Structure 1
Amino acid sequence: MRAFVLTGPRQFEVQDVAPPTAGAGSVVIDVHRVGVCGTDVEFYTGEMQYLHEGHAEYPIRLGHEWMGVVAAVGDGVDPAWLGRRVTGDTMLGCGTCRRCTQGNQHVCEFRFEVGVRNGFAGALAEQLAMPVTALHALPDSVDDTLGALVEPGGNALRSTWGAKLRAGDRALVLGPGTIGLLVAMFARSAGAEVHLMGRSPRSLEYARTLGFDGVWTEEDLPELSWDAVIDASNAPSLPGKALDLVEPAKRVVYVGLAGSPSLIDTRTLALKDVTAVGILSASPGLAGTIEKYASGEVDPRSVVAATVGLEQVGDVLAGWRPDGAGAGPKMHVDPRI
């Protein structure tokens, strides 16, 4: 089968590789759609921290935002999975450690991350092998585009949970990229008044088309009381800014990651009695995201600017957008084309 393989920083090939097989407890999936994520870009540039910590190495097969159709099942797997449209959890814990047995497999010390950590081959290929325990079935009302947005949506939904947003709260989202926009959509579905702050004129203009209560630059951000500030950016300065902006006794949520260390003043955190929440993964939010997409309560399909084939992935990682692409920040890949 064909697979996109990063062989080094800014080095890549579409290779013919052996197709996966369905081992015991596992399935093989025909991949229909894959999202390209900021994490994938960091692997492309060589900046991804896992490369420097020994959790990942080249060559690597990327792709952790995906959906597809189950094509084969292994021993011990219910044959009813065959032909089902599915997505899956990125975080695959060992299943036996204390964290896993307490339901926190997404922070298991020994975890695999699909297309990211410890060599687990990702979905930027014609087929993908997955443990059946990590699968989530997709209803017909969740189309292929939405299916490949479940993983980033799960991160966004968990961010709104971390903010404990209620109807009438005022939330500020820092960074109008894919995750920030998804956070804003889920926050709005919770009944919050939602504002975004960003820097890029193109991203700000697109965010305005989605009808949020306010879209601002840092310079023109109004002095309002923020019940929650959610940092979905990659700017090292914004975690501290989030803490400065949030109302005392309220919440800051950190879901974005900068390429260099970010600093916050814990004196401010304590003296304002603020709760700070970190969000690593989508795992606990995947089912809830599917439900919200299926009901139409949240519909982020417009964030996908275009869908391309495997041969264009390297160009996408380098920042290319095809002619006629939409204004949204996300690029999708269909390995069948």
Structure 2
Amino acid sequence: MRAFVITGPGRAEVREVDPPRPGAGEVVVEVERAGVCGTDMEFFTGAMAYLRTGEARYPVRIGHEWAGIVREVGEGADPGWLGRRVTGDTMLGCGRCPRCGSGRQHLCADRYEIGIRNDWPGALAERLPVPAHALQPLPDGLDPVLGALVEPGGNALRAVDAAALEPGMRLLVIGPGTIGLLAALTAAARGAEVHLLGLTERSLDFARSLGFTRTWTEPPERRFDAVIDASNGSGAPALALRAVEPGRRVVFIGLSAEPSTVDTRALVLGDITAVGVLSASGGLAGTAELYASGLVDPRPLVAATVALDEVAGVLAGERRPEWGDAPKIHVDPRLPA
């Protein structure tokens, strides 16, 4: 089968590789859509931290936002999965340690991460092996485009949950990228007053096209009931603490390539709760239901769908003018070269 492989910083190709065979408790999914995200770009540039810690190495097969149809089941996997459209958890714990036993498999020290950690192959390929326990069935009517947006949406949903918002509360989202916009859409669907802070008017123009009229390129001189930092700016965490009301919550889901510093005195003296969110684990089912309900429509976030042969250009930052400013690029591995 064909698969996209990053062979080193700035180097990638589409290769013919052996198709996966399902192991015990596993299935093989025919991939219909896969999303390209910032983590994938970090692998392409060489900036991904796991490359330095040894948790990942080249060559790497990326892709952890996906949807597809189960085509094979291994020994011990429920044959009822066959023919079902699914997505799945990126984080695959060992299933034996205390973290896995307490529902924190996404923090398992020995975990695999699909398309990211410990050489589990990713979804930028025609077929993908997945443990059956990690599958998330998609509701009838949820097509591959929406299915491949469930994983990023699960991250956003967990961030909004962590913000502990009530209807009418004011939320500031820092960073109008995919996760920030999905968090904004989710919070708005729950009745929050959403504000977005971005670096440029161009990035905020797209947010305004989604109906968000409260946008800023400079930090507003007001306090918010919650702040979600979905940016990659090293100064954003400290900004978030300055922007939140005392006694409220700041949620960190974005990551900077360089260390971010915060003054813990601001946390203590403001009696502020700071929450970090890693992965969509625990948020997939809720996101699928949210999309199926029609309360959140993430389709406008997808700028284009490309073939595997076009992924290297996407990772290098190439964008066609007709794609506009939507942040997400999808890949259909079935498209011809």
- Count of aligned positions: 335
User: Corresponding residue for 2:221?
Assistant: 223
User: Corresponding residue for 1:199?
Assistant: 199
Is 1:254 aligned to residue 252 of structure 2? yes
User: Corresponding residue for 1:106?
Assistant: 106
Q: Choose which of 264, 273, 290 in structure 2 pairs with 1:275.
A: 273
Deviations 1:14-70 (A, max 9, x none): 000000001111101100000000000000000010111110000000000000000
User: Corresponding residue for 1:235?
Assistant: 233
Is 1:57 aligned to residue 57 of structure 2? yes
| Distance (whole Å) between structure 1 residues aligned to residue 101 and residue 157 of structure 2 | 23
| Distance (whole Å) between structure 2 residues aligned to residue 40 and residue 238 of structure 1 | 22
User: Corresponding residue for 1:91?
Assistant: 91
SS at match of 2:326: coil
| Distance (whole Å) between structure 1 residues aligned to residue 141 and residue 258 of structure 2 | 40
SS at match of 1:168: coil
| Distance (whole Å) between structure 1 residues aligned to residue 154 and residue 251 of structure 2 | 14
Give the deviation of 1:201 after TM superposition.
2.8
Matched ranges for 1:168-207 at <5 A: 168-207=168-207
SS at match of 1:140: coil
Is 1:68 aligned to residue 68 of structure 2? yes
User: Corresponding residue for 1:37?
Assistant: 37
Structure 2 gaps, min length 5: none
| Distance (whole Å) between structure 2 residues aligned to residue 292 and residue 6 of structure 1 | 34
Aligned 8 A contact 1:44 1:317 in 2: yes
User: Corresponding residue for 2:19?
Assistant: 19
| Distance (whole Å) between structure 1 residues aligned to residue 172 and residue 139 of structure 2 | 32
| Distance (whole Å) between structure 1 residues aligned to residue 202 and residue 299 of structure 2 | 18
Q: Choose which of 302, 305, 319 in structure 1 pairs with 2:303.
A: 305
Which amino acid in 1 is paired with 2:62?
L
SS at match of 1:284: coil
Give the deviation of 1:131 after TM superposition.
0.5
SS at match of 2:47: coil
Which amino acid in 2 is paired with 1:275?
T
| Distance (whole Å) between structure 1 residues aligned to residue 292 and residue 111 of structure 2 | 29
| Distance (whole Å) between structure 2 residues aligned to residue 114 and residue 192 of structure 1 | 33
Aligned 8 A contact 1:306 1:326 in 2: no
Q: What is the TM-score normalised by the length of structure 2?
A: 0.98
| Distance (whole Å) between structure 2 residues aligned to residue 232 and residue 200 of structure 1 | 15
SS at match of 2:121: coil
User: Corresponding residue for 2:288?
Assistant: 290
SS at match of 1:269: helix
Deviations 1:272-331 (A, max 9, x none): 000000001101111100010011111111000000000000000011123521431100
User: Corresponding residue for 1:119?
Assistant: 119
| Distance (whole Å) between structure 1 residues aligned to residue 252 and residue 23 of structure 2 | 37
Which amino acid in 1 is paired with 2:286?
G
Deviations 1:140-164 (A, max 9, x none): 2211111000000000000001100
SS at match of 2:283: helix
Is 1:131 aligned to residue 131 of structure 2? yes
Aligned 8 A contact 1:193 1:213 in 2: no
Which amino acid in 2 is paired with 1:334?
D
RMSD across aligned positions (CA): 0.9
Give the deviation of 1:203 after TM superposition.
1.3
Which amino acid in 2 is paired with 1:231?
D
| Distance (whole Å) between structure 1 residues aligned to residue 142 and residue 188 of structure 2 | 20
Which amino acid in 1 is paired with 2:271?
D
Q: What is the TM-score normalised by the length of structure 1?
A: 0.98
Give the deviation of 1:225 after TM superposition.
2.7
Aligned 8 A contact 1:304 1:326 in 2: no
Structure 1's consecutive aligned runs of 4 or more residues displaced over 2 angstroms after TM superposition are 221-225
SS at match of 1:248: strand
Aligned 8 A contact 2:35 2:149 in 1: yes
| Distance (whole Å) between structure 2 residues aligned to residue 97 and residue 176 of structure 1 | 37
